[in-house]
Structure 1
Amino acid sequence: MMLRFLVPVFAFLLMAEPALAQVGADLNISPKRVVFGPGERSATVYIFNQGDQPATYTVELVDRVMLPDGQIVAVADHPEARIESAQDLVQYTPRRITLQPRESQAIRVRARPGEGGEHRSHLTVTALPPESTGFTVDQAAGAGENEVSLQVVALFSVSIPVIVRDGAADARAAIDRLSVSKVEDQTLVSLDLVRQGANSVYGDVEIYTEDRAGRQLLTAVRGVAVYPEVERRTVIAPLPSPITPGQTLTVIYRNDDDADSGAVLATATLIAP
């Protein structure tokens, strides 16, 4: 008896399985987030097929929750999590798209006001396997009797947050537990971003060194959010080169939200041990 299975597996940005077939890895989406402030009711999201083959995608809203380590996971996998969902406030079209190679498609997103506060869901675009995905005649004939063969197909997905705010953003933050460590030959800067306002914060973590020559940017971690369901999240940034004892490090968390973009949300200084 020979059994053969085709098993779909969802992969968000990365699938660490060398034997599987990955579908939709050439999917790209822009912008990386959508924020509806007071009076803002429409936005456009663009999907790009950067591959060499036609591809079909589904579009859906999924509630996702942030964990303290910064991971974004489906609420369905963490039923104890509580978020203010935007699913009842957001409409979008189309919900299924087929794109030719190098083709793009606009998704129209609309939002209505909520009942105060901040609501969030994630617009999730998933590449579907083509109809030809499966076993070829040669593959089917190659299995021996009484063998079970398994083919895993990774369905590549990209999610972006869709946020609806009913008032002015209360985005405040602080930096806590700033430290420097060394793991083998790599110097690491670790810190906690602490959300202090009622809304989520989103921005860039910039790490500078200061000496007699002035302030110089060492590295930056772009697009770091802290959502309302967590009070803080840890950020670890590798430095491109070692630092010397006594050297001054300054960390700036700079707002990259649509409201008040570029403003400094938090800053901290450390003398390297």
Structure 2
Amino acid sequence: MNKLFLGCFAVFFSFQVSANLLVNPTRVELDNLKNRSAVFSLVNKSSANSRYNIYFEDKQMLDSGEFVTLDKDDVDFSISNYIRYSPRRINIQPEQAVKVRIAARLPKSIEKGEYRSYIVFHQIPLAPEKKDSAADESDVFSLSISAYLKISVPVILRVGDLDSELNLSNSVLDAGSNALQVTLKRAGNRSTYGDIEVINADTNDIVGASKNVTIYTELSERTFSVPITESVSHNARLIVRYTENDKLHNSKSVEVKLAL
């Protein structure tokens, strides 16, 4: 009887946080002054050894919040050519940690603006183990499925004093999903990220929130669905507030009032 072997199918996942690999930080922000380097800590939480290739990719955000990977020739804002990093391949034992260091090397001619690429930690298979010869000679149906993690972390470089202008519009309550559709608009030469809160103006209670929303410089606006987690009356007065993360230069807060 002939033996039938099925090869190993690789299934790729793009998770910012994985149960098997913990990556810290999950966002890096550099500038052309003092913050020119960063250190990643990678912890293997699985029970097996793991190996990762490390490299940079360029991605573009869509207005849906999804990303597409770009060719280098199509990118104006990439920092991958300005970054040195080490190591480029790592092996991590179970419950052990490894450090990955990156540093910006900027030419004097670099133009003012915001640059962004993604450092990728891409799991690759270890060397296959030798199989028992007796098992090799038996008639076996073999199916091996391996899930290889691919974790991408944004690395942002800001050159010069960058700023953004923000406003909120088109806040509409979707009764069917019990969520508030909020459009955040961005202008200027830097991206924005922060938190959207929906506040009951009568009680000052937070009735809904979306954390760590982001609009990168390739987009001028995004619409977010903010879940309403507390009951509000049909004639409630709401305040929709967006607050930028205080790590951003000249961080801002904008709000709009809404009557249901």
> Please, what TM-score do these two structures have when normalized by structure 2?
0.85
Contact map agreement 1:34 1:161 (CA 8 A) in 2? yes
User: Paired residue for 1:177, among 170, 173, 176?
Assistant: 170
Distance between the aligned counterparts of 2:226 and 2:205, measured in 1?
16
Distance between the aligned counterparts of 1:54 and 1:151, measured in 2?
18
Deviations along 1:76-109, one digit per CA (max 9) or x if unpaired, are 4xx9965411111111111111112222122111
Q: For 1:184-203, what aligned pairs fall within 5 Å after superposition?
A: 186-203=177-194
Q: Is the aligned partner of 1:97 residue 2:54?
A: no
Contact map agreement 2:43 2:96 (CA 8 A) in 1? yes
Contact map agreement 1:35 1:162 (CA 8 A) in 2? yes
Q: Counterpart of 1:205?
A: 196
Distance between the aligned counterparts of 2:198 and 2:70, measured in 1?
33
- Tell me which amino acid in the other structure corresponds to 1:233: R
- Tell me which amino acid in the other structure corresponds to 1:203: G
> Please, what TM-score do these two structures have when normalized by structure 1?
0.81
Q: Counterpart of 1:129?
A: 125
Q: How many residues align?
A: 250
Q: Structure 1 residues 130, 220: CA separation in 2 closer, same or farther (over 3 Å shift)? A: farther
Distance between the aligned counterparts of 1:27 and 1:219, measured in 2?
31
Q: Counterpart of 1:18?
A: none
Contact map agreement 2:41 2:98 (CA 8 A) in 1? yes
Following superposition, the deviation at residue 169 of structure 1 comes to: 2.3
Q: For structure 2, list consecutive stretches of 5 or more residues without a partner in the other structure.
A: none
Q: Is the aligned partner of 1:238 residue 2:220?
A: no
- Tell me which amino acid in the other structure corresponds to 1:182: A
User: Paired residue for 2:113, among 108, 111, 117?
Assistant: 117
Q: For 1:69-80, what aligned pairs fall within 5 Å after superposition?
A: 69-76=64-71
Q: Is the aligned partner of 1:266 residue 2:254?
A: yes
Distance between the aligned counterparts of 1:111 and 1:51, measured in 2?
32
Contact map agreement 2:163 2:249 (CA 8 A) in 1? no
Q: Structure 1 residues 142, 260: CA separation in 2 closer, same or farther (over 3 Å shift)? A: same
Distance between the aligned counterparts of 2:127 and 2:19, measured in 1?
17
Q: Counterpart of 2:40?
A: 45
Deviations along 1:4-39, one digit per CA (max 9) or x if unpaired, are 22122321129xxxxxxxxx7411111111111231
Q: Structure 1 residues 121, 251: CA separation in 2 closer, same or farther (over 3 Å shift)? A: same
Following superposition, the deviation at residue 254 of structure 1 comes to: 1.1
Distance between the aligned counterparts of 1:83 and 1:216, measured in 2?
43
Residue identity over aligned pairs, in percent, reads: 26
Contact map agreement 1:34 1:162 (CA 8 A) in 2? yes
Q: Is the aligned partner of 1:158 residue 2:147?
A: no
- Tell me which amino acid in the other structure corresponds to 2:255: T
Q: For structure 1, list consecutive stretches of 5 or more residues without a partner in the other structure.
A: 15-23, 144-148
Following superposition, the deviation at residue 258 of structure 1 comes to: 2.0
Match of 1:244, SS?
coil
Q: Counterpart of 1:12?
A: 14
Contact map agreement 1:174 1:265 (CA 8 A) in 2? no
User: Paired residue for 2:59, among 52, 58, 64?
Assistant: 64
Contact map agreement 2:193 2:244 (CA 8 A) in 1? yes
Distance between the aligned counterparts of 1:64 and 1:243, measured in 2?
39
Q: Counterpart of 2:205?
A: 216
